[in-house]
């Protein structure tokens, strides 16, 4: 499994549609400061479902949309597509090529697509769970992540090791299961209180007529 293609349009400094192809082996992107190299890393994180604006070096999510220049008008949407070769069937899908697309509009609406079919963010998260390709996984390593691994923060090291060991998705499912249990318990308690209250009101309503 490897990243074969990245297509960016309207994301940060990419006013025009740009397609980057990655062949097997090592690919390097070089350029002077301020040319948008880091924006490529941000685009990969974003299309994989990153929700934290601070990770994307932005104050709010709307700022990832190209905001215009003196010679170019602002765009109304941002779109990033990433294509993964799944020839070794590491992703739990029958497709040998998987394309994930994320769109964001200035009105706040967003879209996720899996092979051009609308899907949920959860579908993308589940697809890449424990593969190292998540928005915060170890496949995208920044300088600050290396500092985190080398730091004394055991929790950060543990998170990366669990992702590499392939147990993250099971922890996510466990967390979701406990949340469903808590929600069901809360609804049950609410319904129980309603039923008890209803019986009390019914008894009070019958008492005067029974006394007469």
Contact (Cβ atoms closer than 8 angstroms) between residue 112 and residue 101: yes
- 149 has pLDDT over 50: yes
**Where in the chain are the domains?**
2-135, 169-212
pLDDT tier at 94, thresholds 50, 70, 90 = confident
Assign residue 137 a region (left: φ > 0; alpha: ψ between -120 and 50; beta: otherwise): beta
- 201 has pLDDT over 60: no
Contact (Cβ atoms closer than 8 angstroms) between residue 19 and residue 7: yes
Q: Which of 111, 113, 37, 61 is nearest to 82 (CA)?
A: 113
- pLDDT (0 to 100) of residue 98: 93
Q: Which of 54, 55, 56 is nearest to 78 (CA)?
A: 56
pLDDT tier at 211, thresholds 50, 70, 90 = very low
The burial of 105, by beta-carbon neighbours within 10 Å (0-12 exposed, 13-18 middle, 19 or more buried), is given as: middle
Q: Please say whether the dihedral angle defined by the alpha carbons of residues 31, 35, 38 and 43, taken in this order, is positive or negative.
A: negative
pLDDT tier at 212, thresholds 50, 70, 90 = very low
User: Could you tell me what percentage of the chain is helix, strand and coil, using 3-state DSSP and rounding each to the nearest 5?
Assistant: 40, 20, 40
- pLDDT (0 to 100) of residue 138: 56
pTM of the predicted model, to two decimals?
A: 0.70
Mean pLDDT of 135-142: 63
pLDDT tier at 3, thresholds 50, 70, 90 = confident
DSSP conformation class of 31: -
Cα 120 to chain center, whole Å? 9
Task: Give CATH for domain 2-135.
Answer: 3.40.50.300
Contact (Cβ atoms closer than 8 angstroms) between residue 86 and residue 98: yes
pLDDT tier at 130, thresholds 50, 70, 90 = low
128 versus 209: which is more confidently predicted? 128
């Amino acid at each position: 499994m490897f990243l074969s293609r990245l297509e960016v349009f309207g994301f940060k400094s990419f006013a025009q549609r740009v397609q980057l192809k990655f062949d097997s082996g090592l690919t390097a992107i070089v350029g002077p400061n301020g040319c948008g190299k880091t924006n490529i890393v941000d685009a990969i994180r974003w299309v994989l479902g990153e929700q934290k604006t601070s990770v994307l070096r932005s104050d709010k999510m709307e700022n990832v949309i190209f905001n215009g220049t003196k010679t170019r008008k602002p765009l109304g949407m941002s779109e990033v597509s990433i294509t993964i070769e799944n020839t070794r069937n590491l992703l739990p899908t029958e497709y040998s090529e998987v394309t994930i697309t994320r769109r964001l509009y200035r009105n706040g609406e967003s879209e996720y697509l899996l092979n051009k079919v609308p899907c949920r963010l959860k579908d993308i998260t589940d697809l890449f769970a424990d593969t190292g390709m998540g928005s915060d996984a170890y496949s995208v390593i920044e300088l600050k992540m290396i500092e985190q691994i080398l730091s004394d923060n055991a929790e950060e090291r543990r998170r990366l090791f669990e992702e590499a060991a392939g147990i993250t998705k099971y922890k996510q499912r466990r967390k979701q299961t406990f949340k469903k249990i808590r929600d069901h318990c809360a609804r049950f308690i609410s319904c129980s209180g309603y039923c008890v209250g209803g019986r009390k009101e019914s008894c009070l309503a019958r008492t005067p007529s029974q006394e007469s």
